[in-house]
Chain A
Amino acid sequence: MAIPLMYNVRNLTVRRTATLMTAGGIGLVVAILILTLALAHGFRATLVATGREDNVLLIRAGSNAEVQSGIDRAAASVIETDPGVLQVAGGMPLVDRESVVLTNLTRRGGGSSNIVVRGVNERVLELRPDVRIVQGRFYRPGTDEIIVGEPIARRFVGCGLGDHLRFGARDFDVVGIFSADGGGFESEVWGDAETLMPLFDRRSYSSLTVRLADPAGFESMKKRLESDPRLRVDVYRERAYYDAQSTGVATVIRVVGVFLVIVMATGAVFGALNTMYAAVGARTREIGTMLALGFTPREIQMSFMAESVLLCLVGGVLGCILALPIHGMSTGTTNWQTFSEVAFQFRITPQILVIGLAASLVLGLIGGYFPARNAARRTISEALREG
């Protein structure tokens, strides 16, 4: 028969201060773990949410990112006539020819960052239905009007509705604010490609985005276009492209986070060990009594392990509660793979909370194992005499 769990619960509540302090230490570790995971996940989720499975992105072969790429008009026309491209009313291919440049804007509250200015065509909303105008209206093609992603409008100077942004030697009016369901396009400024390109001295497009007529037709389209000697392009599924852009920064966040958490967790385990050793030490006589009552050493070991796990789980729950308010908080950083700003939110998912709780469980097991083994090794006579 196992020793009732209630025995451990009672013990923890009797030593209230020690319990709360140890659990507090564990809780802070768990909170930091959750925060870094939420940061990495938020960053990644933003970029993954940027692409669609049935959209295809084309950039110049070997260029890796849109900013470095160039596709000239002749090549663009060849790509548009590919049989794999979806045709909409009137036999028009669903294609957006885009130009991507970076512009350095000032953050509200100091500092600056590079923002993507994307020249698009009128087909873009059909191609990217996630993008919605939330304030104002869409730009009028051929005019000096632009629209700005929500987080950029909020975080950067001169990007609010009715403000002006200066590109080259011309002022552009911000006539609309758009959202993209949390995707990376929200971190951009959009305008008419044909107006913006001469201004930035761009003669070729940066990329082409096309809708697949048949989502399964990707591989054959990729083979066809990449082997076409007139083109020299790399063909990606839009989602895979943006996912790949996120790996660098997300990995850095995760590596730094894991380093922090491992070091902090080591410190916290020492604390948990101390508490549990003290718990065992203070209850030597009780251990003797339990042995005398007929509980086996194994049951006593299990009981102390359970107590340690329980203690650390309290910490884990505490950590989750501490970390939760940060969910949804928005922040931004420069994605080094594209050299441009990405606005994103801390995102705490159920999985991340489970990982946090699991980590506290592991801490409990490690912190409890040695003291519990110590407890189980006592003999009745020794334990009763010592106490």
Chain B
Amino acid sequence: MRFLPFILRNALRSKRRTVLTILSIVVSLFLFCTLRTVITSLDASLRMTDTTRLVVRRSTSLTFFMPLSYKDRLAQIPGVEAVSWSDWFGGVYIDERHFFPQFAVDPKGYIPMYPEYDIEPPGAPDTFQRERTACIVGEKLAKRYGFRVGQQITLKGQIFPGTWDFTVRGIAHSHSPDLDTNFMLINWDYLNQRTGNLGVVGVYVVKISDPSRAGEIAKTIDATFANSPAETKTETEKAFQLGFITMLGNIQTVIVAIGTVIVIAIILVSMNTMMMAARERTREIAILKALGFTNRAVLGLVLAESLLISLAGGVLGTGLARTVFSLTDFNAGGFFSSFIVTWGTVARAIAIAAFLGLVSGVVPAWNAARLKVVDALRHAG
């Protein structure tokens, strides 16, 4: 520890170089944190799913409808507590760039299915049931466009043609930042009425009493509708959500690959710097040794300097990532429900920085330790 001032002075002697090295580490670890947060954010939204809810859809694909009559048959299946339904509305607000999901939902049973959301003002769920053109918007969406209770929202239907006007009657708040509130709920009865009682149900949401029986109940549901014109596929909410993520292809592999490349690139850059720093100081190291510093002490000094520089970069880089994303409330246009750099990611980034410091310091430190005083003084003289 008593060498710390010495190490600091050494590190700061060529300020420009040290700053440049720290900056390159900052940038790389910032990137590392960003990439890893993509993965943890997707995982977090999966963790928020409820194990007592199953999602029933057409086996062919989500784009097909199921008859409304399924709701009574689903309710009769043993283990099923409640049944509700929704449909993807697919309307456009202003233009295509202003995308957010809208779901036409069963006005009575849907909201009670999701107790993890609070709807404000208190009477909103009742108004939503009574008023055909009522809608409920999530907190984040309301914030994005400044929607207030009582405001009109006009959507242009793409799947269901026409112009659709809705009045905001409630704002949905979630209990956790990882729960998405970038959505809009509209009254399914209104959609059904305007489309000539087509009875379009995209998915049924089924509440079950015992999560451990989820697999068995899902099988029973699918067997009930097997060989009918509208066969079903029933999954847990988590599996259903995971389905969307896998559609993107193998992003996890891509992210891990890019992360690895970044780490290799910074190792190259910082190792190079440490080697340059040590080379320039050949003579000093020789003097230290002539003064009686042991090989181990010299090795320690060089290694400690490199460790110090990369840890400084690591702390700054992760700190930057944490602050930037939390201050800007970044969510990639609603793609992520939350984008928070977790402490796990911070710990990993710091560990990478430490590893980096060791790897890039080890060659110059080894060289310094092996240095022969006579050669060094003669050579550098």
Contacts and interface: CB of A to CB of B under 8 A. Distances in A.
Contacts of A104: 59-62, 233, 243
Contacts of B158: 62-65, 68
Nearest to A31: B261
A271 B17 CA distance: 9
Q: What interface size band does chain A fall in?
A: 35 or more
A22 B249 contact: no
Contact of B21 (A63, A270, A282, A331): A270
B156 interface: yes
B287 to A, nearest CB: 20
Contacts of A264: 27-28, 31, 262, 265
A372 to B, nearest CB: 15
B30 A21 contact: no
Interface in B197-228: 227-228
Contacts of A281: 280
B272 A274 contact: yes
Contact of B269 (A62, A260, A270, A277): A270
Nearest to A269: B24
B2 interface: no
Given A29-B265, A112-B243, A271 B249 contact: no
Contact of B24 (A102, A260, A268): A268
Contacts of B262: 28, 264
Given A62-B156, A101-B60, A107 B246 contact: yes
Interface stretch (A179-187, A300-308, A332-340): A332-340
A169 B231 contact: yes
B55 to A, nearest CB: 13
B24 A28 contact: no
Interface string B229-253: 1010100000000010011111000
A167 B246 CA distance: 22
A111 B253 CA distance: 14
Given A25-B268, A200-B60, A201-B229, 7 more contacts: A64-B96, A112-B246, A114-B62, A268-B269, A271-B20, A278-B276, A331-B249
Interface of B: 16-17, 20-21, 23-25, 27-28, 30-31, 59-64, 90, 96, 156, 158-159, 161, 227-229, 231, 233, 243, 246-250, 258, 261-262, 264-266, 268-269, 271-273, 275-276, 280
12 contacts: A68-B159, A101-B60, A101-B64, A111-B243, A114-B62, A200-B60, A267-B24, A270-B20, A270-B27, A274-B269, A277-B16, A278-B17
Interface of A: 17-18, 21-22, 24-25, 28-29, 31-32, 60-65, 67-68, 101-104, 107, 110-114, 167-169, 200-201, 260, 263-264, 266-268, 270-271, 273-275, 277-278, 281-282, 331-334, 339, 341
